[in-house]
Amino acid sequence: MYRMIKHLERLVEEDKIEENDPIIDLGTGNGVMLRELEDFGFTNLTGIDYSPSSIKLAAQICPNLVDHLFQADILKSDERFTAKYKIAMDKGTFDAISLTPSDKETAIANYSENVAQMLEKKGDYLFITSCNWTTDELKKHFSKQFELVTELKVPKFKFGGKEGSSTVSVLFSKL
Ligand SMILES: C[S@@+](CC[C@H](N)C(=O)[O-])C[C@H]1O[C@@H](n2cnc3c(N)ncnc32)[C@H](O)[C@@H]1O
């Protein structure tokens, strides 16, 4: 998480984003990402989660953001998913969604379409951390709506003669 937020800071320094750009945290859980974004100086934050208990918990962790937390299912169409965000953050939520055993393909397609719809314009960002997918796999999943900007370097490990990463953090931009 720290790595993702440090990268956002770099984008601020490079004048690619501003600290008051609207950011949505997808599947915010206990809101800890929002809390850290706040601590780093980002000021226009929203969190969504389909779990009411997550929203309650996030409201406790982020008391300044109670009016910016709402319950919503990213996979369903929702009139609140208006095109107003500059950055969508995802840490572990796409992983949870894409492991849905029932209809994985539809879940992935709906996620990608709905997230693209939340972003205001071409070039806006989806920043995702996954421990289930490689960058190439994420690229394929999102290829209709997003293109790769950069993959953050993460520590690699070696096991059984093969090299891998335990997680990937990847920045995409809206096509
Ligand atoms: C692995 S947790 C990650 C939580 C948080 N992002 C973090 O890093 O601590 C996944 C979160 O996504 C939420 N979630 C899963 N599927 C969702 C969906 N379809 N719509 C909204 N939230 C969802 C879960 O309720 C859970 O809080």
Task: Please give the tally of structural domains in the chain.
Answer: 1
Q: What percent of the chain has pLDDT over 90?
A: 85
- Return the CATH number at 139: 3.40.50.150
- How confident is residue 85, by pLDDT bands cut at 50, 70 and 90? very high
User: Residue 41 belongs to what domain range?
Assistant: 2-174
Is there an atom of ligand 1 within 6 Å of 107 CB? no
Residue 84's contacts (CB-CB under 8 Å, 6 or more residues apart) are: 22, 118, 120
Q: What is the mean pLDDT of residues 104-121?
A: 96
Pocket test for ligand 1, best of 35, 49, 54 (most atoms within 8 A of CB): 49
Q: Which atom of ligand 1 is nearest to the CA of 90?
A: 6
pLDDT, tens digit, 9 for 90 and up, residues 44-61: 999 999 999 999 999 999
Nearest to 151 by CA among 132, 131, 128: 128
